Structure 1
Amino acid sequence: MDYNVYLLATDPNNPCRDVIHSRDTSLKIRVYCLSEDRFTPDENEIQLYGYAHNKLYAFETININAEDALDVVGAIQWYADYIDYPEMEILPEDPRGGHGIAM
């Protein structure tokens, strides 16, 4: 079984601006702390959400390719392990209500 390797780019001035990179594909995911960051979902990208350490996180892909879409959840699970919260539940919609894009 192949496992993806993920890398993390961090902003030393803002710990809530991490970017998850796949080493082997073009997958990139920006991490937002919704209690600290303004977040407007991009309708052309995939957004997922999760709570960890009493914070709500948003995860949004960057220039997603169809072949990378299946790896998004795995990358977020890797990030949850990285922040020492492996039990993070990954949510398909913003649980705050009223913050998503109407379709």
Structure 2
Amino acid sequence: MDHNVYLLATDPKNPCRDIIHSRDTRLKVRVFCLDEETFSPDDNEIQLYGYANGKLYAFETINIAADDALDLVDAIQWYAEYVEDPGMEIFPEDPRPGATYSDAKSN
């Protein structure tokens, strides 16, 4: 299969709490709206960041398996299309000025 199929679980009580699921692998990615909530990265997971429609998102894996790590960027690009911003740039670090891992952990 050339492309994974992704599904989205949404929380009706919190529109910023989406979870991307890969139908074809075990990959799961939690989505955070950094403009609206605090985020403390998990040392055991992979985090990537991106701006879409003027909002900053954090994407964090859930129980990542080595085989699924390669699909993470594809899942985020799929989400960018879902939120109608297919040109979203993906960042390996939090792009906010002064944001560091130690700052996030202290929140």
Give 1:9-88 correspondences, 5 Å limit. Answer: 9-88=9-88
Structure 1 stretches of 4+ moved >2 Å: none
RMSD: 1.3
Per residue, is there more helix in 1 or in 2?
2
With structure 2 as the length reference, what TM-score do the two structures score?
A: 0.91
State the SS of the aligned residue for 1:74: helix
State the SS of the aligned residue for 1:10: strand
How many positions carry a matched residue from both structures?
Answer: 102
Q: Does 1:98 align with 2:99?
A: yes
Taking only the aligned residue pairs, the percentage that are identical comes to 73
The answer for unaligned runs of 5 or more in structure 2 is none
